[in-house]
Amino acid sequence: MEQRSWQSSPDPRGGGMGLAVPSMTPAVKVLVIANVAIYLVLWLMGEETETYRRTLDIFALSPGVWKDWFPFVPLWQLVTYGFLHDSPSHVLFNMLGVYFLGTMLEGVIGTRRFAAFYLVAIVLAGFMQLMVGMINEAPILGASGAVLAIVCAMATMRPATMIIFFFVPMTLKTFALIYVAMDLLGLVYELRYGGGGVAHVAHLTGAALGYAAVRTSWIWRDPVAVVAAARARRAGETDAQNRERLDSLLAKIAREGIGSLSGREKAFLKRMSKRR
């Protein structure tokens, strides 16, 4: 996939003119290197080895393992499965999507927001596919759900941006609709005839997340800022509660004397006096 330059277009719905190969953004670089490196390690193990099979049991999203280990389910698999791929084409096409469209999205929303969005997409897509996989216990692996989340987020944000996919020019909106339609048809076919082996539910979950994250503006929420605001809010609530308790104890002392306080209440007064 080749990407036309989006940086030359001031219109958030438009695309630039002129072909460009974008430089990797920080999070995209980490994701591409990690996915390719892990695939190479698995390839060197050899698919027929016990080590390879054991690695997939532990790190791929395995419904059978979740059943066997319940209630101590391997929650880490909801993340690690997204870094495992079972063929060169699988890792290649996923990483091309991360490279071209992930670089675009990270450039628009920033590294922290992109990393949080990618992680949520991996976990949510994996969880939804896991629920389906409990029926046939097929292992789930690959970053495709997160890639579809990136595709649909960018297509929702900048639908008219032009890309060239296999030498065919098309808008991001068209590109996203084609992939969503293919997954919908694939899911219907599997439900009717069975088989397939493609995680259509994970793909469609990622696509829905990408669309919803942009439409609700959730994608613009900075995870660090959200955590900092929550901490500040809790600290404010704690201070208010401490002041209320202090006023209550001082009133109690005025009525009944300091000897009426329990050991815990005296310890609280001591802590508060040090803070002042």
All structural domains of the chain with their residue ranges: 2-221, 226-275
Q: Residue with structure tokens 């993340």? A: 79
Q: Mean pLDDT of successive 10-residue segments in the chain (276 residues)?
A: 37 46 90 95 89 89 86 92 91 93 92 94 92 73 92 94 84 92 88 75 93 92 77 71 78 78 78 71
Q: May I ask the CATH class of domain 2-221?
A: mainly alpha
- For the beta carbon of residue 201, count every other beta carbon within 10 angstroms: 22
| pTM of the complete model | 0.75
Burial 107-124 (b: 16+ CB within 10 A, else e): bbbbebbbbbbbebbbbb
With the C-alpha atoms ordered 139, 142, 147, 149, is the resulting torsion angle positive or negative?
positive
pLDDT of residue 18: 44
pLDDT of residue 21: 75
